Amino acid sequence: MTTIRKFQAAMLLTAIGLQACTLKTEVYDDINPSIYPTTERDAEDMLTSSLYGAFRNNGYSGLFNAATGVHLSTDIASDYGLCSWDDGGGWTRLASASYGAISDSRNVTNIWNDYTNFISKMTLTIDRISGMSIGEDLKKRLIAELQCGRGFLAFILYDLYGPIIIADLETLKNPQNENILPRQTDEATRTFIVTELNEAAKVLPLSYRRGDVSYGRFTGGLCHMVLLKFYMRTAQWDMAEKEGRELMKPEYGYALVPEYRDVFTEANEKNAETIWAVNCKHGFQTHKWFPHVMTNNHPAFTGGWGGYKMTWKFFNTFEPGDKRRETIIYEYITLSGDTLNEKNRGKAGNSLEQGVIPMKYDVASANIVGENSQIDWIVYRYADAVTLLAEAIVRKGNTVTREAVDLLNMVRTRAGLNAYSENSFSGTRDFLDRLLEERGHELYFEGCRRQDLIRHGSYVTKMNEKRADFGWATPVVTNDRILFPLQESKIVEGKGIVKQNPGY
């Protein structure tokens, strides 16, 4: 019974997000399945720990946290992202794509280090729930959520690092045996992602709406959104188009919110544009976006750290009447009465010296307690889906269609800008160039820019331009930096079986 209680306590502590506890190696034979897990509550607790424990934005933990999460790290490692803190040069290496396997365990190798094992946790939880005597409908849904989680996490890891390690059930059930597993082939990793997401989508509800008690759980809509992202990342335009059209079906209930800035307010969270978001609420999980992005001399938020910036160069690509500029701070009067703007930028982090403040979320409407906000953190939304569909249509047919232009105009006209016509573009490349810019304006700091630049074929060029703009020294960025490295210690532990990415 002692081992059972320790196991339950460990699962529950993880479920509610507590940190700083050291857990001993779990001995699976000591868990008596006749005692635990047996109830529906046991199954839910296991799922919360092994699945949703990864997909959080809670302080400094979770895949989407505001300090080391995947959204933040990938957008800093793009053409418009910066951090004003030096931090031993780590932020500059991230922003300039000059990171390494030894020097950069934070924001570069941490996603692999901290979250790869969650796929194994989900695999074990699927096995345990499969053998439980609980309602079949509940069992199917929980297993489908776990399958969605495995596919979702596998895609994130694949996008950042390439082929991943996937442990089989037999290996996981015998943790005392030393069994170093190699990274899967590229084909096997892709097959795993697609299979998991498609199987989950067959079972899960299409979507949840505001007021649903299950809002925040994984859905069929999320499965199809991740598949859309995956197919775009792997240049499978026909399959991407299929997934984009799936998400446009009325039964999912997705639609653009009429005003762009309303997407990111607390009062309007859980809106029809949100495909999936991390649910945040004081007392459960809250994020630290505002202190990371705001300066400490801005009257709207005291105590900011003046960290994350969008380059002035990129900000100046917004058209003057673009409503999305309203969610960016490019001019303000400081607490001491100084006016900061492009001409008078100030100095260091608590200024506009390096760039503008990509506030995004509405600080005025947020119920902030100290450093923490409970505005839901948006991971995927419909504007992302419709613009990817427009791109997939054009790439697949190598022609600019009326439908693709209309899809692009959905986000453009909402931003208060003039609609494009088919004659607005000189050809497919012109359309793709303008779509890339539109997505950059629409989805800034939502974790899309790095993928967009890679797909566009301009990641290396844009990053070298950025290095030149800021006077950062050589080496120049090459195609090797499209993928992040695995930390060198993981390669050493892999004893020649786990291979490093090229160029590191």
- Report field, pTM of the whole predicted structure over 0.85: yes
- Through-space distance between the first and last CA atoms of the chain, rounded to whole angstroms: 48
Q: Is 366 left (phi over 0), alpha (psi -120 to 50) or beta?
A: beta
> Within this chain, do residues 241 and 390 fall inside the same structural domain, yes or no?
no
- 387 and 249 in one domain? no
Cα–Cα nearest to 414, from 297, 295, 326? 326
Domain-ending residue, one of 244, 261, 278: 261
Query: What separation in angstroms does the CA of 258 have from each of 158, 406, 410?
Result: 34, 16, 10
Task: Indicate whether 221 belongs to any domain.
Answer: yes
Residue 426: domain span? 383-476
Segment 294-299 long-range contacts (CB within 8 Å, at least 24 positions apart): 294/357, 294/359, 294/363, 295/349, 295/350, 295/351, 295/357, 296/350, 297/334, 297/335, 297/336, 297/350, 298/329, 298/332, 298/334, 298/335, 298/357, 299/332, 299/333, 299/334, 299/335
- Domain membership of residue 293 (yes or no) is no
CB 146 within 8 A of CB 51: yes
Q: Is residue 105 part of a domain?
A: yes
Q: How many CB atoms lie within 10 A of CB 403?
A: 12
Tokens 């800093």, located at residue: 76
pLDDT for 473 equals: 82
Structural domain includes residue 362: no
What is the per-residue pLDDT for 6? 35
Of 261, 294, 312, the last residue of a domain is: 261
In a domain, 440, yes or no: yes
Q: What is the CATH number of the domain that holds 442?
A: 1.25.40.900
281 within domain boundaries: no
Residue 33: what pLDDT?
Answer: 62
Last residue of a domain, one of 213, 234, 261: 261
How many residues are there in the chain? 504
User: Within the chain, which residues score under 50 in pLDDT?
Assistant: 1-29
Give pLDDT, residue 475.
77
The structure tokens 């999305």 sit at: 324
Q: Around 426, how many Cα atoms within 13 Å sit in the side-chain half-sphere?
A: 4
Regarding whether 400 and 255 lie in a shared domain, the answer is no
Residue 412 located in a structural domain = yes
Residue 368's DSSP bridge partners are 373
The CATH number linked to 163 is 1.25.40.390
Domain contains 334: no
Query: For residues 371 and 290, is the Cβ–Cβ distance under 8 A?
Result: yes
- Co-location of 91 and 224 in the same domain: yes
Q: How many structural domains compose the chain? A: 2
- What integer pLDDT is reported at residue 412 of this predicted model? 98
